[in-house]
Amino acid sequence: MAQKARRRFLKLAGAGLVAAPYLWRRDARAAGGRVVVIGGGAGGAMAARLLAASGKGLDVTLVEPKTSYVTCFFSNLYIAGLRSLESLTHGYDVLSERYGVRVMHQVAVAVDPEKRTVRLAGGDMLTWDRLIVAPGIDFRWDAIDGYGPEAAEIMPHAWQAGGQTELLRRQLEAMEDGGTFLIAPPKSPYRCPTAPYERASLVADYFRREKPKSKIIILDAKDIFPLQDLFEEAWTRFYPGMIEVLPAEFSGGIRAVDPATMTVTADGEEFKVDVANVIPPQAAGRIAHQAGLVDRRGWCPVNPMSFESSHQAGIHIIGDAALASPMPKAAYSARQHARICAEAVLEALSGENAKPGVLGGACWSHVAPDHAVRERATFAVVGGALQRIELDISPIGESDEVRAATARDGDDWYAGITADIFG
C-alpha cells in the first residue's frame, strides 16, 4: 500500500503538480523543461511522443480522459461493416512505457496562461513551461433547432469516434430494407471535409449488399463538396439511384430536427427518415475557449512557424482546433502540426534550431470496398502564412487496378500513422 502511494506521488510530482515542498525534485529531474499536452488524439499523442523521444530530458505529461483512442479516420469502414472497431482502437502503453510520457487519464478543465497551470477535473494542478492544446473539436449545439447532446443519442453525429460510431452502425444494421438514411453535413470548416461523402459511399455499399431497396439523402449545408466529381462518378457506377444530394441552394440546409418523430427539417421541407446522421457545425474543443485561445469563429489562430497561439505566449495549439487553413482538419495535418510544434518547443526549451520545412500528406476516400481515391497536398509557410504549394488528386476514369492500389496505399497509410503515433 505504502509503495503504491509512493508510486502515485512520484507520478504526480513528475507531472509538474503544484505540490509545494517536493517541487525541487521534479525540477532537478526535468532540467529540460515541463511540457503538458492536453488531448491524446492524432495531434496531441504525436507531439507528446516526439518530445518524449527527443532525448532532451523533457518532462512530458499527456492529459487524456480516455484509456484508449478510437480513430475517426477509417471509422466509415467500420460503419459499413468492412472493418472491426478493435482495428481502429489504440492504447497509450507504448507512449508511457517506451517513451516515458506520463499519461494522466483525466479531463483538463482550466488553463491559467499567467500562472502556467492546468487544473484537472479531479482537482490536480499541473505546471508547465510549454503547453500544447490538442482537444480536437466540439459541436455548436445551438446551430440546429432541437439538436443537442440528447438528440445525438437518437440521431448520432458519429463525428467523434467511439460510442457514437457504434450507435450509428447499430442503427443501420437495425434499419429495414427500404428505409431512408439521411446524412446532414455542415458548412466548412469542419473535421475531414470528404468524410461525409465517403460515409455515404460506404453505407451505400452496405445497402447494396444487405438492403438494396434503401435510400440515402445527403442534406448538405453547402452547394458543392470536395472531390464531388469523383464521388459522383462512383455513385453512378456502383449505386445508381441510391444516393440523392440536396445542396443548400435548393434545400437551404438542415434547420431543425425532431428525434421523437425522426423528422429533419430544411427550408420549407420535412424529411421523415429511419436513420439520421446529423453532423453539426463545429469549433475548437471547449478547453481552448476557456483558455482564451479562440477567435470569434471559434477556432485557434496560430503562428504557422511554431503553432504557438496568436493569443497566449507559451501555448501551442495543434490538430483540428488550430486555424491552419488551407490545411484540412485531418489526422495527417494534425501529425504535421505536431512535428512543427515539437520542433518549436524544443527550440524554446532546449535551444534547438527549428526550421519548419514543407508540410505534406494525403487523404484517402473509399468510394467502394477496395476502391479509393486520394488527395495529396503539400503546404509551406510563405510570407508568414500557410499556403498550399502542390495538389495532386486522383483523376476521373482511373482503372479498377489503380483504385485498388490506392485503397491499399490507404491501408498502409493508416498502419503507418497509427504506429507513428501510438507505437
Ligand X SMILES: Cc1cc2nc3c(=O)[nH]c(=O)nc-3n(C[C@H](O)[C@H](O)[C@H](O)COP(=O)(O)OP(=O)(O)OC[C@H]3O[C@@H](n4cnc5c(N)ncnc54)[C@H](O)[C@@H]3O)c2cc1C
Sign of CA dihedral 410, 99, 355, 191: positive
Kindly tell me which of 145 and 173 has the beta carbon lying closer to ligand X.
173
Binding mask 123-142 for ligand X (x = CB under 6 A): -----------xxx------
Q: Which stretch binds ligand X (CB under 6 A): 10-18, 72-80, 145-153, 241-249?
A: 72-80
111 contacts ligand X (rule: CB under 6 A): no
- The alpha carbon of 416 is separated from its chain's Cα centroid by a whole number of angstroms, namely 17
Among 50, 155, 192, 359, binds ligand X (CB under 6 A): 192
Nearer residue to ligand X within complex by CB, 126 or 151: 126
Q: Which of 33, 36, 58, 75 binds ligand X (CB under 6 A)?
A: 75
Does the footprint of ligand X cover residue 33 (CB under 6 A)? no
With vertex at residue 227, the alpha carbon angle to CA 223 and CA 233, rounded to the nearest 5 degrees, is 100
Binding footprint of ligand X, residue count (CB under 6 A): 37
Interface segment toward ligand X; rule CB under 6 A; list 27-35, 42-50, 204-212, 349-357: 42-50
- Could you say whether residue 331 binds ligand X (CB under 6 A)? yes
User: Pick from 14, 33, 41, 156: which binds ligand X (CB under 6 A)?
Assistant: 41
Pick between residue 195 and residue 217 the one whose CB is nearest to ligand X.
Answer: 195
| C-alpha to C-alpha distance for 363 and 375, rounded to whole angstroms | 5
64 binds ligand X (CB under 6 A): yes
Q: Does 90 bind ligand X (CB under 6 A)?
A: no
Q: Radius of gyration (Cα) for the chain, nearest Å?
A: 22
Compute the distance between CA of residue 34 and CA of residue 61 in angstroms, rounded to an integer. Answer: 8
Using CB under 6 A, pick the residue from 63, 103, 227, 349 that binds ligand X: 63
Backbone dihedral angles phi then psi of residue 88, each to the nearest 5 degrees: -105, 5
Strands 282-284 and 137-139: antiparallel
Which is nearer to ligand X, 245 or 318 (by Cβ)? 318
Compare residues 32 and 52 and give the one whose CB is closer to ligand X.
Answer: 52
* 77 contacts ligand X (rule: CB under 6 A): no
Q: Determine the straight-line distance between the first and last CA of the chain, rounded to whole angstroms.
A: 32
With b for 16 or more beta-carbon neighbours within 10 A and e for fewer, the 278-299 pattern comes to: bbbbbbbbebbbebebbeeebb
Residue 323 three-state SS:
strand
C-alpha cell at 132: 500544447
Rounded CA-CA distance 81/33 in Å is 46
* Complex with ligand X: residue 44 or 281, whichever CB lies closer: 44
**Measured from the CB atom, is 189 or 253 closer to ligand X?**
189
Question: Does residue 32 interact with ligand X by CB under 6 A?
Answer: no
Asked if 330 interacts with ligand X (CB under 6 A), we say yes
User: Distance between CA 351 and CA 365 in Å, rounded?
Assistant: 41
Beta strand pairing status for 34-38 and 59-63? parallel
Nearer Cβ to ligand X, position 126 or 265?
A: 126
What residues form DSSP beta bridges with 112? 117
Q: Contact region for ligand X (CB under 6 A) — 83-91, 92-100, 204-212, 330-338? A: 330-338
Which residue's C-beta sits nearest to ligand X?
A: 41
To the nearest whole angstrom, how small is the minimum distance from the Cβ of residue 38 to ligand X? 5
Q: How far is the CB of 405 from ligand X (least distance, A)?
A: 17
Identity of the residue, 22 or 67, whose beta carbon is nearer to ligand X in the bound complex: 67
Nearest of 256, 197, 198 to residue 222 by alpha carbon? 197
Residue from 197, 364, 379, 422 binding ligand X (CB under 6 A): 364
Selected binder of ligand X within 287, 294, 323, 373 (CB under 6 A) = 287
Q: Distances in Å between the alpha carbon of 135 and those of 138, 152, 162, 314, 321?
A: 8, 20, 16, 17, 7
By CB under 6 A, is residue 88 in contact with ligand X?
no
Mark residue 324 as left, alpha or beta (left: phi above 0; alpha: psi -120 to 50; beta: remaining).
alpha
Is residue 374 close enough to count as binding ligand X by CB under 6 A? Answer: no
> Chain-centre distance of CA 301, in angstroms?
17
Question: If binding is defined by CB under 6 A, does position 66 make contact with ligand X?
Answer: yes
Of the candidates 191, 186, 246, 247, the one whose C-alpha atom is nearest the C-alpha of residue 215 is 246
Residue range at the interface with ligand X (CB under 6 A); choices 3-11, 37-45, 265-273, 347-355:
37-45
Instruction: State the Cα–Cα distance between residues 361 and 333, nearest whole angstrom.
Output: 7
Q: Residue numbers of the site for ligand X (CB under 6 A)?
A: 38-44, 63-66, 69, 72-73, 75-76, 107-108, 134-136, 159, 191-192, 195, 285, 287, 319-321, 329-332, 334, 363-364
